[in-house]
């Protein structure tokens, strides 16, 4: 049977039957919006830097943004910081140092908090790795995508495989925790080529690998003019191969695209992303950054101005937020499940109630239907996707959407 928490026993409900008793863990996301070159598959809020970026002005805007948001997160400890982009490794190490100093000054940063910075393997960025470590960054995420020069060119990347290998070696000299971002099902990619990429990544000695299926996102050049991609059957074979080789290499798959080593060591997992997947809260500052924040009555989402210039100009007026909207109660089950069912181990029923303020009974019918289809199971008190459910994740999630 599916464990169900009665409404009366639900610890996260107020006497009125809705609302959160205590907010969930809080993470901080910082967006750096500039890149050297916009990749044709990328749909993130990134902008090619034409000329020198005014880092001092952007840093001042970030700090003002954080200060303006303090009443929303007052006295809540921050469990992780993620500096993403764009290409944050383009910033000077001195800028990263000043940014992290300001964060420590304004919010109670949890002792031992994970602090991640995204980096490209370019030579100029790699030369700054020691400076980023000295500033307080303790986890580096390198966007390699492939070790095949032809595939890198097809993806519009500006580094080659030799630069990627040098950057990884340098990263491992400075950081105990290093993630590699890889993609498969690339233009004209064969199964053996995808296998070589994964074998090379495993051989580097990093503790975390994120392996993504290349998707054609709307409003990208690849979407408007699709390159020749592997068909669905070949892409599925690649996914199975990637998962099998990483498992054989000692990596545990804990999320749809995330693999951590050594297997069973939760410290090598990305704590910042785990907070997303368990429907934790996050404050996003920077151009185009998004937030999800909770109080005792409601959960709401915010987005900052996307254009970097508009964001910095808005900072002078204290105007950062472009949209702010409460999440409807009817949408909360779908939002929670879209995150939690990405995790291989799933979630305990109490977490649904703690994060949404709703009784687990509201999703009982959908859970039972998914179990009948062989998409969900309950193991060790966790509701989790079956191997079939992980393979057909979109079909599984559709059963929980409002």
Residue by residue, DSSP assigns 157-195 as: -S--HHHHHHHHHHHHHH-SEEEEEEEES-TT--HHHHH
Distances in Å between the Cα of 356 and the Cα atoms of 300, 331, 359 are 12, 10, 8
Q: Which residues pair with 27 in a beta bridge?
A: 80, 282
- Please answer whether residues 32 and 386 qualify as being in contact, where contact means their C-beta atoms are separated by less than 8 angstroms: no
Could you tell me the residue ranges of all domains in the chain? 24-276
pTM for this prediction: 0.93
Count Cβ atoms below 10 Å from residue 169 Cβ, excluding itself: 12
Mapped onto helix, strand or coil, the DSSP state of residue 251 is coil
pLDDT value at position 123?
76
DSSP 107: S
d(CA 106, CA 91): 21
Confidence of residue 21 (pLDDT cuts 50, 70, 90): low
55-73 and 308-315 helices, crossing angle to 10°: 60
pLDDT value at position 23?
85
pLDDT value at position 156?
94
Q: Which of 212, 213, 209, 211 is nearest to 263 (CA)?
A: 209
Parallel, antiparallel or unpaired: strands 258-260 and 252-255: antiparallel
Count Cβ atoms below 10 Å from residue 6 Cβ, excluding itself: 9
pLDDT value at position 41?
92
Two tokens at 144? Answer: 């390699």
Select the more confidently predicted residue: 370 or 295: 370
CATH class as words, domain 24-276: alpha beta
DSSP 149: H
Confidence of residue 19 (pLDDT cuts 50, 70, 90): low
Q: Which residues pair with 29 in a beta bridge?
A: 82, 284
- Please answer whether residues 256 and 390 qualify as being in contact, where contact means their C-beta atoms are separated by less than 8 angstroms: yes
DSSP 346: -
- Please answer whether residues 182 and 193 qualify as being in contact, where contact means their C-beta atoms are separated by less than 8 angstroms: no
- CA dihedral (135, 137, 140, 143) in degrees, to 10, reads -70
89-127 confidence digits (pLDDT tens) = 999 999 999 999 999 999 999 999 999 999 999 877 888
Q: Which of 194, 271, 273, 209 is nearest to 246 (CA)?
A: 209
Q: Give yes or no for residue 6 having a pLDDT over 50.
A: no
Cα 68 from chain centroid (whole Å): 24
Dihedral (CA of 232, 388, 361, 18) sign:
negative
- Please answer whether residues 352 and 360 qualify as being in contact, where contact means their C-beta atoms are separated by less than 8 angstroms: yes
DSSP 347: B
- Please answer whether residues 85 and 118 qualify as being in contact, where contact means their C-beta atoms are separated by less than 8 angstroms: yes
């Amino acid at each position: 049977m599916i464990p169900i928490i009665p409404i009366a026993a639900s610890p996260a409900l107020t006497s009125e039957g809705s609302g959160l008793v205590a907010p969930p863990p809080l993470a901080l996301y910082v967006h750096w919006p500039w890149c050297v070159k916009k990749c044709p598959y990328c749909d993130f809020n990134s902008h090619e830097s034409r000329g020198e970026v005014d880092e001092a002005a952007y840093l001042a805007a970030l700090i003002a943004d954080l200060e303006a948001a303090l009443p929303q997160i007052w006295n809540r400890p921050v469990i992780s910081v993620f500096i993403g982009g764009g290409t944050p490794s383009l910033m000077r190490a001195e800028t990263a140092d000043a940014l992290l100093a300001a964060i420590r000054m304004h919010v109670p940063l949890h002792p031992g908090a994970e602090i991640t910075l995204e980096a490209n393997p370019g030579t100029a960025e790699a030369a700054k790795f020691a400076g980023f470590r000295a500033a307080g960054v303790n986890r580096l995420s390198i966007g390699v995508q492939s070790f095949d020069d032809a595939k890198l060119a097809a993806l519009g990347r500006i580094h080659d495989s030799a630069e990627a290998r040098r950057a990884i070696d340098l990263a491992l000299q400075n950081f105990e925790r290093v993630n590699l971002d890889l993609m498969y099902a690339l233009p004209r990619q064969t199964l053996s080529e995808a296998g070589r990429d994964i074998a090379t990544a495993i051989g580097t000695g990093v503790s975390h690998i994120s392996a993504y299926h290349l998707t054609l996102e709307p409003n990208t050049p690849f979407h408007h003019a699709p390159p020749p991609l592997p068909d669905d059957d070949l892409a599925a074979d690649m996914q199975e191969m990637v998962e099998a080789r990483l498992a054989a290499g000692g990596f545990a798959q804990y999320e749809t695209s995330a693999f951590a080593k050594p297997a069973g060591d939760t410290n090598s997992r990305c704590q910042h992303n785990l907070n997303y997947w368990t429907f934790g809260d996050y404050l996003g500052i920077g151009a185009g950054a998004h937030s999800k924040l909770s109080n005792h009555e409601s959960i709401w989402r915010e987005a900052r101005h996307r254009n970097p210039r508009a964001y910095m100009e808005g900072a002078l007026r204290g105007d950062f937020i472009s949209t702010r909207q409460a999440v409807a109660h009817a949408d909360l089950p779908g939002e929670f499940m879209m995150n939690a069912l990405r995790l291989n181990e799933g979630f305990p029923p109490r977490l649904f109630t703690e994060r949404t303020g709703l009784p687990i009974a509201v999703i009982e019918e959908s859970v039972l239907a998914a179990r009948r289809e062989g998409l969900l199971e309950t193991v060790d008190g966790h509701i989790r996707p079956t191997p079939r459910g992980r393979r057909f994740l979109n079909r599984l999630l559709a059963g929980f959407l409002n």
